[in-house]
A and B are shown apart, each in its own frame.
Chain A
Amino acid sequence: MSKKNEVLLEIHDLQIQGYSEERWVDIIKGVDLTLHKGEVMGLIGESGAGKSTIGAAAMGYARDGTRISGGSIEFDGMELSTATEEEKRALRGSRIAYVAQSAAASFNPAHKIIDQHTEAPIQYRIQKRLEAQEDAMQLYEKLRLPNPEEIGFRYPHQVSGGQLQRAMTAMAMACRPDLIIFDEPTTALDVTTQIEVLAAIRDIVDEYNTAAIYITHDLAVVAQMADTIKVLLKGEEVEQAPTEEMLKNPKEDYTKSLWAVRSFKRDQKSRPKGAEPLVSVQNVDAAYTGGDKVLDDVSFDIYEGMTVAVVGESGSGKSTVARCITGLLPPMKGQIQFKGETLPPNYRDRTKDQLRQAQMIYQMADTALNPKVQIREIIGRPAQFYGGLKGAALKNRVDELLDLIELEPSQFYYRYPPELSGGQKQRIGIARALAAEPSFIICDEVTSALDQLVAEGILRLLDRLQQELNLSYMFITHDLATVRSIADEVVVMQHGKVVEQGPKEDMFTPPHHPYTDLLLSSVPEMDPNWLTTLLEERGVDNVGDAASQQIDTDDPKVST
């Protein structure tokens, strides 16, 4: 990066405070940041690390309830922390632009997209209205938006999420700024949509040699986008290095834990011969009240002691299948069989024993555990409810379960969920499921909210429990690393249909159904060249929505 030597943004010892409970508390505790012209820096960290706050501060902006309490922010020779509001405003939109996480919320619903786009260039007298509109259409075309001549004249709610995100990137580009702050621009999007937005952002930033701060919590995404990566933790910098080096050779323990390559991989089991399936989903159609069909003729089997991963994007119906199995959403057609016997469609009509047999573990441990109930009661309740345990027997059972999930009973017995870490909460969720002594557990994205190392610990625990207790799992996930490490069989879903299913090894070796192919290839990988390689292989017009639309439903490989 020798040609990018000129410093554009220099932040030194930045301190920001936030107002909570009637006093100011530090949320950014002395962060330094140096950004050169044309450089893309990735800011990564968990939620609460302060990355978004730093992003706003780079524009000299403090959100409501926060204030910049110390340090300096120098943009191209101008000190922003002491600049007047007028001076800072003159930079915003013209020299520094901002792309927000939710494009749908960040476009004003009352104005047409193109009018919002041209607002800054007209105000700064860079272009006249018609010129600015011409320019906007050109940017739309560059960002590969469909109908670039016309799309700007629509209102924001008339355009899809991925397109709106690209329109916002175009808007940020309107005055050809020196610096763009991307604040989690693809977090709210599906993997297949995300990829086209990523490609578009990267192209346009390259083309105009714009510097950028790219804020995200997704390591694989930042690896594609950034020249350098800065890792943040609780308002402080952990480390910073060029992308390649950071990925190969992280120095701090925290970074290593983020980067840790999933080493856990389990041998693939095959179906026991001649046995009947434990759970059998048979020709299920389902719809929410008054809505369209969300499941269409879904069938698959889960055998005893095996793990079936159900993959698909949001809206594919994978969570709905879980709701049908548990009886929360009675199917319109078809049936769910358990050990060969048909379950009543509504959970209210099922016997206590039927309910006990199938348990669930949730994605967000925060909402899965009642914050006002002690751990002993959370875990003890199912044992008391199904097993009728009381007093000492109940306490022993809770201790046993806590041991099973590798938590020290005496330390956790009387604690409340908000006092625990994410991984511990997830373990409590597992213990609650185990307390019912089930034979089948639905795991709904159980690792996606956790750091790599913690996630791996949970997967190992689930695997160990499977072997010890002969459990069957249905794993709902969009993370292919999880599928690789723990699944025996895979079911791929799209638009409420099963597009492909089979043993894991088969699913990861081509050829397969074009959608499986698209989905598998769209999940970002840690390799910094992944996006480049993928775009070369597939071609820029064969990713995202464009590719989904090309999928021929009459393809011979539609069903297995």
Chain B
Amino acid sequence: MGDILSLVAKRLGLGLLILFIISIIIFFMVELLPGDIAQAVLGQGATEENVAALRKEMGLDKPAIVRYLEWLGGAVQFNFGNSIVTGESVTATIGPRFMNTLFLATYAAVIAVPFAIVLGIIVALLRNSIFDRVANVATLSAISSPEFFLGYILILYFAVNMGAFPAISSLSEDMGTWELLNRTFLPALTLVLVVTAHMMRMTRAAIINLLASPYIEMARLKGVPPWRVIVKHALPNAWAPIINVVALNLAYLITGVVLVEVVFVYPGIGQALVDAVSKRDFPVVQACCLIFAATFILLNLAADVGAILTNPRLRHPK
């Protein structure tokens, strides 16, 4: 077991290191601005005094490295400073929105993950049949479509033509669970479609790869019944690839959510990021980027750790 623990610890360490490097990139990239933040925010027409005042307020008179350390120190405690545009605390603005995004992503994942894995396995078992080919064309088309295309088609069909679901997912405090699920159904469905397509293809590839291994052939040639080949011989070795597929797609969800939130005017962190980018509200941009990157790294980390923990060769060392 010592081996496994040290491998996991190493992987965790690496994840932290990468997160640290990314925080440096995110912070110092803003330093590359021509002029500085204060100048950029106030624009060309700003008077010298105004710029100087803003500089002082933002602490730009301190050296970059000091500001970075302060920012990082704050970030670790979920304190990202104040928005330049509204002057409010970034955490207070983003916090609830982040929860909304997490809700949407979870909603989509809960539907997509079991659905896609089951479908992927079925398609892998039926490979080269007509269903496999149809599924191949269908999933390829789904992953080739921009998220906003799928989103608007769903709006057109379900919201405008049928009137079954609202086109805009505005949330309010006093909504019941059913109302909430109903309002967020279309954005979730958009995400489900894209993610399912991705996951099905990856699951199919992983399962076919697995079924081609000599030990599966050996099991078949031992007269093991097909269901037992899958359950007893394929499944114990399939966890690592499946965990990998799930984690990669959850990571994908995190990015895909930005466009979908904009289409459905959903009050999530993606929408906040896009607004901040167009308003050049850098503290918010930095905070959002760091949160997205951290989630992304965390999921990749989970995939790798999962693969390590389910590898029989590592679980039973020599």
Q: Kindly identify, within residues 192 to 250 of chain B, every residue whose CB is under 8 Å from any CB belonging to chain A.
A: 212-215, 217-225, 228, 232-233, 236-237
- Say if the beta carbon of B312 comes within 8 Å of chain A: yes
- Say if the beta carbon of B318 comes within 8 Å of chain A: yes
Q: Kindly identify, within residues 46 to 65 of chain A, every residue whose CB is under 8 Å from any CB belonging to chain B.
A: 56, 59, 61, 63-64
The reply to whether B221 and A157 form a contact with Cβ atoms under 8 Å apart is: no
The reply to whether B318 and A106 form a contact with Cβ atoms under 8 Å apart is: no
Contact of B215 among A93, A97, A106 (CB under 8 A): A106
Contact of B224 among A59, A123, A155 (CB under 8 A): A123
- Say if the beta carbon of B62 comes within 8 Å of chain A: no
> What's the minimum C-beta distance from A387 to chain B, rounded to whole angstroms?
49
Segment of A108-116, A296-304, A419-427 in the binding face: A108-116
Q: Please name all residues of chain B whose beta carbon is closer than 8 Å to the beta carbon of A109 when the two chains form the complex.
A: 215, 237, 312-313
- Say if the beta carbon of A521 comes within 8 Å of chain B: no
> What's the minimum C-beta distance from A513 to chain B, rounded to whole angstroms?
31
Q: Which residue of A lies closest to B318 (CB)?
A: A158
- Say if the beta carbon of A261 comes within 8 Å of chain B: no
The reply to whether A61 and B220 form a contact with Cβ atoms under 8 Å apart is: yes
The reply to whether A63 and B217 form a contact with Cβ atoms under 8 Å apart is: yes
- Say if the beta carbon of A208 comes within 8 Å of chain B: no
Q: How many residues of B contact A (CB 8 A)?
A: 22
Give CA–CA (A123, B223) in the complex, Å: 9
> What's the minimum C-beta distance from B271 to chain A, rounded to whole angstroms?
45
Give CA–CA (A63, B232) in the complex, Å: 21
Give CA–CA (A108, B233) in the complex, Å: 7
The reply to whether A100 and B224 form a contact with Cβ atoms under 8 Å apart is: no
Contact of B223 among A56, A90, A105, A110 (CB under 8 A): A90
Q: Please name all residues of chain B whose beta carbon is closer than 8 Å to the beta carbon of A93 when the two chains form the complex.
A: 221-224
The reply to whether B212 and A105 form a contact with Cβ atoms under 8 Å apart is: no
The reply to whether A98 and B214 form a contact with Cβ atoms under 8 Å apart is: no
- Say if the beta carbon of A107 comes within 8 Å of chain B: yes
The reply to whether B222 and A92 form a contact with Cβ atoms under 8 Å apart is: yes
The reply to whether A157 and B213 form a contact with Cβ atoms under 8 Å apart is: no
Q: Please name all residues of chain A whose beta carbon is closer than 8 Å to the beta carbon of B316 when the two chains form the complex.
A: 155, 157-158
The reply to whether B312 and A155 form a contact with Cβ atoms under 8 Å apart is: yes
Give CA–CA (A165, B220) in the complex, Å: 18
Q: Please name all residues of chain A whose beta carbon is closer than 8 Å to the beta carbon of B236 when the two chains form the complex.
A: 108, 110-111
Q: Please name all residues of chain A whose beta carbon is closer than 8 Å to the beta carbon of B318 when the two chains form the complex.
A: 157-158
Q: Per-residue CB proximity of A102-145 to B under 8 Å, as 1/0? A: 10011111110000000110011000000000000000000000
- Say if the beta carbon of A350 comes within 8 Å of chain B: no
> What's the minimum C-beta distance from B138 to chain A, rounded to whole angstroms?
22
The reply to whether B224 and A105 form a contact with Cβ atoms under 8 Å apart is: no
Q: Please name all residues of chain A whose beta carbon is closer than 8 Å to the beta carbon of B212 when the two chains form the complex.
A: 64
Q: Please name all residues of chain A whose beta carbon is closer than 8 Å to the beta carbon of B228 when the two chains form the complex.
A: 123
Residue with the highest number of chain A CB atoms closer than 10 Å, among B213, B222, B228: B222
The reply to whether B223 and A106 form a contact with Cβ atoms under 8 Å apart is: no
Q: Please name all residues of chain A whose beta carbon is closer than 8 Å to the beta carbon of B237 when the two chains form the complex.
A: 108-110
The reply to whether B218 and A92 form a contact with Cβ atoms under 8 Å apart is: no
Residue with the highest number of chain B CB atoms closer than 10 Å, among A91, A93, A97: A93
The reply to whether A59 and B221 form a contact with Cβ atoms under 8 Å apart is: yes
Give CA–CA (A273, B220) in the complex, Å: 66
Q: Which residue of B lies closest to A159 (CB)?
A: B318
The reply to whether A105 and B215 form a contact with Cβ atoms under 8 Å apart is: yes
Give CA–CA (A102, B213) in the complex, Å: 11
Residue with the highest number of chain A CB atoms closer than 10 Å, among B215, B217, B219, B236: B215
The reply to whether B218 and A119 form a contact with Cβ atoms under 8 Å apart is: no
- Say if the beta carbon of A94 comes within 8 Å of chain B: yes
Give CA–CA (A157, B312) in the complex, Å: 9
> What's the minimum C-beta distance from A27 to chain B, rounded to whole angstroms?
18
The reply to whether B223 and A120 form a contact with Cβ atoms under 8 Å apart is: yes
The reply to whether A105 and B221 form a contact with Cβ atoms under 8 Å apart is: no
Q: Please name all residues of chain B whose beta carbon is closer than 8 Å to the beta carbon of A107 when the two chains form the complex.
A: 215, 218
- Say if the beta carbon of A89 comes within 8 Å of chain B: yes
Q: Which residue of B lies closest to A112 (CB)?
A: B316
Q: Please name all residues of chain A whose beta carbon is closer than 8 Å to the beta carbon of B218 when the two chains form the complex.
A: 98, 100, 106-108
Give CA–CA (A222, B281) in the complex, Å: 78
Q: Kindly identify, within residues 332 to 369 of chain A, every residue whose CB is under 8 Å from any CB belonging to chain B.
A: none
Q: Kindly identify, within residues 248 to 262 of chain A, every residue whose CB is under 8 Å from any CB belonging to chain B.
A: none
Give CA–CA (A354, B205) in the complex, Å: 50
Q: Please name all residues of chain B whose beta carbon is closer than 8 Å to the beta carbon of A100 when the two chains form the complex.
A: 214, 217-218
> What's the minimum C-beta distance from A127 to chain B, rounded to whole angstroms?
15
Q: Which residue of A lies closest to B127 (CB)?
A: A64
Q: Which residue of B lies closest to A19 (CB)?
A: B128
The reply to whether B223 and A91 form a contact with Cβ atoms under 8 Å apart is: yes
Q: Kindly identify, within residues 150 to 197 of chain A, every residue whose CB is under 8 Å from any CB belonging to chain B.
A: 155, 157-158, 171
Q: Kindly identify, within residues 125 to 164 of chain B, every residue whose CB is under 8 Å from any CB belonging to chain A.
A: none
The reply to whether A92 and B215 form a contact with Cβ atoms under 8 Å apart is: no
With A108-B215, A110-B237, A111-B236 as known contacts, state yes or no: A98 contacts B224, CB within 8 Å.
Answer: no
Give CA–CA (A105, B210) in the complex, Å: 12
> What's the minimum C-beta distance from A46 to chain B, rounded to whole angstroms?
22
> What's the minimum C-beta distance from A76 to chain B, rounded to whole angstroms?
15
The reply to whether B215 and A98 form a contact with Cβ atoms under 8 Å apart is: no
Residue with the highest number of chain A CB atoms closer than 10 Å, among B212, B223, B312: B223
The reply to whether B214 and A120 form a contact with Cβ atoms under 8 Å apart is: no
> What's the minimum C-beta distance from B188 to chain A, rounded to whole angstroms?
36
Residue with the highest number of chain B CB atoms closer than 10 Å, among A92, A94, A108: A108
Contact of B221 among A98, A102, A110, A123 (CB under 8 A): A98
The reply to whether A92 and B214 form a contact with Cβ atoms under 8 Å apart is: no
Q: Which residue of B lies closest to A174 (CB)?
A: B222
The reply to whether B222 and A110 form a contact with Cβ atoms under 8 Å apart is: no
Q: Please name all residues of chain A whose beta carbon is closer than 8 Å to the beta carbon of B214 when the two chains form the complex.
A: 100, 102, 105-106
Residue with the highest number of chain B CB atoms closer than 10 Å, among A63, A98, A109, A171: A109
Q: Which residue of B lies closest to A120 (CB)?
A: B222
Give CA–CA (A454, B219) in the complex, Å: 40
Residue with the highest number of chain A CB atoms closer than 10 Å, among B212, B213, B224, B228: B224
Q: Please name all residues of chain A whose beta carbon is closer than 8 Å to the beta carbon of B225 when the two chains form the complex.
A: 89, 123
Q: Please name all residues of chain B whose beta carbon is closer than 8 Å to the beta carbon of A108 when the two chains form the complex.
A: 215, 218-219, 233, 236-237
The reply to whether A92 and B220 form a contact with Cβ atoms under 8 Å apart is: yes
> What's the minimum C-beta distance from B82 to chain A, rounded to whole angstroms?
50
Q: Please name all residues of chain A whose beta carbon is closer than 8 Å to the beta carbon of B222 when the two chains form the complex.
A: 92-93, 97-98, 119-120, 171
> What's the minimum C-beta distance from A104 to chain B, rounded to whole angstroms?
9
> What's the minimum C-beta distance from A543 to chain B, rounded to whole angstroms?
25
Q: Please name all residues of chain B whose beta carbon is closer than 8 Å to the beta carbon of A94 when the two chains form the complex.
A: 223
Q: Kindly identify, within residues 495 to 513 of chain A, every residue whose CB is under 8 Å from any CB belonging to chain B.
A: none
> What's the minimum C-beta distance from B108 to chain A, rounded to whole angstroms?
32
The reply to whether B213 and A110 form a contact with Cβ atoms under 8 Å apart is: no
With A93-B222, A98-B221, A157-B318 as known contacts, state yes or no: A105 contacts B213, CB within 8 Å.
Answer: yes
> What's the minimum C-beta distance from B14 to chain A, rounded to whole angstroms?
18
Give CA–CA (A157, B313) in the complex, Å: 7
Give CA–CA (A64, B209) in the complex, Å: 12
Q: Which residue of A lies closest to B228 (CB)?
A: A123
Give CA–CA (A158, B212) in the complex, Å: 23
Give CA–CA (A448, B232) in the complex, Å: 41
> What's the minimum C-beta distance from B149 to chain A, rounded to whole angstroms?
32
Q: Which residue of B lies closest to A124 (CB)?
A: B223
The reply to whether A119 and B224 form a contact with Cβ atoms under 8 Å apart is: yes
Give CA–CA (A124, B223) in the complex, Å: 9
Q: Please name all residues of chain B whose beta carbon is closer than 8 Å to the beta carbon of A102 when the two chains form the complex.
A: 214
> What's the minimum C-beta distance from B157 to chain A, rounded to whole angstroms?
38
What are 5 A-B residue pairs whose CB atoms fall within 8 Å in the complex?
A98-B221, A107-B218, A108-B233, A119-B232, A155-B316
Could you list 19 further interchain pairs (A-B, Cβ under 8 angstroms) beyond the known A98-B221, A109-B313, A110-B233? A61-B220, A61-B221, A89-B225, A91-B223, A93-B222, A93-B224, A102-B214, A105-B213, A105-B214, A107-B215, A108-B218, A108-B219, A108-B237, A111-B232, A119-B222, A120-B223, A155-B312, A155-B316, A157-B312
Closest 5 interchain pairs by CB?
A93-B223, A92-B223, A110-B236, A93-B222, A105-B214
